[in-house]
Structure 1
Amino acid sequence: RSSGRKQVIASAIEHPSVLEISPDDPKISVTANGVVELESLSKILRRRGRFAVVSVMAANNESGVIQPIKEAAECAHAAGALFHCDAVQAVGRIPIDMKRLGVDMLTISAHKLGGPKGMGALILAEGMEIEALIRGGGQERRHRGGTENIPGIAGFGVAAREVQEKRLTIGQVANLIGILERRAVAAVPDAVIFGEDAPRIANTSLLALPGVDAETQIMALDLAGIEVSAGAACSSGKVGESHVLQAMGVADELGRCAIRISFGAENTLEEVDKFIEVWSGLRKRAG
């Protein structure tokens, strides 16, 4: 803040918790598959002066598309900016090595690993220093004063350890998502899988059923005991325009028909069959 630089330049598909930090600054554009365009980042850095931080997520929370973090960090550092990566959606699903990627700051969240809600971590590169978020105590290496949530921290640690132990199950999850997507397109040939041609994390699919809005899909699937969301999971129950799909150039009419499906190690092929039956039935009823 004291540098006089603008605060943050972020991609157009970041989580609102990042986008709303600096809403008026230019956003890095993405391709039709939802991949950050490095040339867009370079142009912004050249034309708009110096920024304090560039922020790009490791994998998008709606589409699951994996982003070119190493290359984006190199662009940021070449312009004299620090680089932050929101790895909440990616940790436990793809390898994350801060040093190899060149990331200065990395954020993760326990609940995405199966840990307790409300617990997160900001991981700093060696030698990196930041101002205290809450002053008045020596906790969290003087970065956040106040009594720690010991049960939450312990739960976070257990979840992180178990993710390491269960990392081989990600192949099973990827197989189920692949089966679901193939069966969805077979049942409804004009169904759209967003980010289909880009690298994606194994557990997430963003799928549109043209002609049937997301709210209708969510309600029907919920009645069948299947939980999905419209866009970001933290926006479940709210059906509105997806800023991620808008950034990808998707027409609002089609974007309103998109749902996000997430799988875990406990999901089964039988659940895929049930999803396809209920979901494709909506299209048949819609004519």
Structure 2
Amino acid sequence: MQSNGEEQNLVYMDHAATTYTDSDVVKAMLPYFTEYFGNPSSPYTIANESETAIEKARKKVANAINARTDRIFFTSGGTESDNWAIKGISFANKNKGNHIITTAIEHHAVLHPCEWLEKQGFDVTYLPVDKFGLVDVEDVKDAITDHTILITVMLANNEIGTIEPIKEIGEVARKNGIYFHTDAVQAIGQVPVDVEDMNIDLLTLSGHKFYGPKGTGALYIKKGVKIDNFMHGGAQEKQCRAGTENVPGIVGLGKAIEIATRDIENHAKRMQSLRDRLINELLEIPNTHLCGHPTKRLPNNVNIVFEYIEGESILLLLDSYSIAASTGSACTSASLEPSHVLIGCGMPHEIAHGSLRLSLGKENTDEDVDYVLSVVPTIIERLRSMSPMASKK
């Protein structure tokens, strides 16, 4: 996105928060709003069209993560899928135990259900991470007890982009007869995901993170997993998730994941090239730090902390230059507290407040990166000139 000579067009670098809906996805969805509008549970032809479309989408999602088609269940998004996985496993298996293992830097769609379950009599271990946001597999092993029924660790962190050792954690869970769930919301479309190779029993994904429509998602549940239903009512989704299906949304989700995973290696290479340029040049600004692992990170994620200033101030000034970014998770942007992820990585509160997350997408260009790199140093210098903390240094 380049300037038209008079006014700078929007440079959008907040794809970890949400993406636009791809035009091919919208095109695929449109007939199911007006032409093929039948209720999939009805017996006549127009309803059969809806049912067929759902099953085609289910197959596309399954193919994208190397899963069995009949083990994909459509939901309203990542939050519902996380809640279903965690609460469903916990209550269905409470006769075996009441212990859950997770990490301190999970998305709140995982942390808050775990905190709620503690009030229902479950025990939860929140594992620490190192300064890069990596959980130690040995810590997972050491946390297991005779009462452990679930391990839930995100595949890639939504704020700092660190990719966790999911395959190894899944192997530990499998050897110990414990269910393993991963929130893969940020990973789909960025890195290859294979539920069989990674020893995953349950996986969460969300359509609006990879150019699909908002309000769509899915939960993969491996065959044989004992899990309670999250919603009760009709017999939809094999009697596991009640409610008339969002046919256009499901069609869009299927099309979006098909596109997002079609040429994932070349996409990742291009994103990584842009990412590394941003990281390397932003780190030339004095008193800055990279958040997350330098190499074990999503190809589109940049998270830099600038000492002595507030992240919210950076965002406001970036917006005045038509650059959209984030200080961390969009789901917690209204909070005045520093990122729990950065705090979990051992960063002091006063420094964690100054984080900037730039998350790249397929429409971003070298020109976008050039523009951001021309603007950010000026903003940082301006804010530090007004900062009482910087003046003391």
Q: TM-score range by the shorter chain?
A: over 0.9
The letter for the 2-side match of 1:171 is: K
Aligned counterpart, 1:37? 136
Alignment deviations for residues 5-53 of structure 1 (CA, whole Å, 9 cap, x no partner): 225321111111111122252211111111111122122114xx42221
Query: What secondary structure does 2:302 align onto?
Result: strand
Partner of 1:58: 155
Q: Which amino acid aligns with 2:129?
A: V
Tell me, yes or no, if structure 1 residue 116 matches structure 2 residue 213: yes
Q: Indicate conservation of the 8 Å contact 1:214/1:239, yes or no.
A: no
Specify the code of the residue in structure 2 equivalent to 1:20: H
The answer to whether 1:169 aligns with 2:267 is yes
Q: 1:180: which partner in 2?
A: 278
Whole-Å separation in 1 of the counterparts to 2:230 and 2:254: 22
C-alpha separation in 1, matches of 2:337 and 2:379? 20
Q: Which residue of 1 aligns with 2:47?
A: none
Aligned partner letter, 1:75: V
CA contact (8 A) 1:8 1:21 kept: no
Q: CA deviation at 1:77?
A: 2.8
The CA distance in 1 between the partners of 2:156 and 2:140, in whole Å, is: 17
Aligned to 2:340: 243
Alignment of 1:1-287 (within 5 A): 1=91, 2-3=94-95, 5-23=97-115, 24=118, 25-46=124-145, 49-167=146-264, 168-186=266-284, 188-285=285-382, 286-287=384-385
Whole-Å separation in 2 of the counterparts to 1:17 and 1:164: 24
Q: For each residue in 1:144-183, what CA deviation from the matched residue of structure 2 results, as whole angstroms up to 9, or x when unmatched?
A: 1110000110110110111123422221111111111111
Q: Which runs of 4+ in 1 moved over 6 A?
A: none
Asked if structure 2 preserves the Cα contact closer than 8 Å seen for 1:220 and 1:278, the reply is: no
Q: Which has the higher contact order (CA 8 A, sep 6+)?
A: 2
- 8 A contact 1:59–1:201 mirrored in 2: yes
Letter in 1 for 2:140: L
Q: Is the 8 A contact 1:50 1:80 kept in 2?
A: no
Tell me which moved more, 63-72 or 270-279. Answer: 270-279
- How far did 1:216 drift? 0.6
DSSP-derived class of the 1:5 partner: coil
Corresponding letter in the other structure for 1:28: L
1:43-101 CA distance string (max 9 Å, x none): 2114xx42221000110000100000111112223333210011101111111111111
Q: Secondary structure at the match of 2:205?
A: strand
The total of aligned residue pairs comes to: 284
Residues of 1 paired with 2:295 and 2:261: CA distance? 25
* Range moving further from structure 2, 59-68 or 228-237: 228-237
1:35–1:198 CA contact under 8 A, matched in 2: no
Percent identity for Structure 1 against Structure 2: 35
Q: Give the secondary-structure state (helix, strand or coil) at the position aligned to 1:266.
A: coil
Number of the residue aligned with 2:4: none
8 Å contact from structure 2 (residues 153, 166) kept in 1? yes
Query: CA–CA distance in 2 between the matches of 1:246 and 1:204?
Result: 18
Distance 1:237 1:180 in 2: 26
CA shift for structure 1 position 221? 0.4
Structure 1 distance, partners of 2:162, 2:336, is 21
| Equivalent-residue separation in structure 2 for 1:228 and 1:240 (angstroms) | 18
TM-score using structure 1 length: 0.94
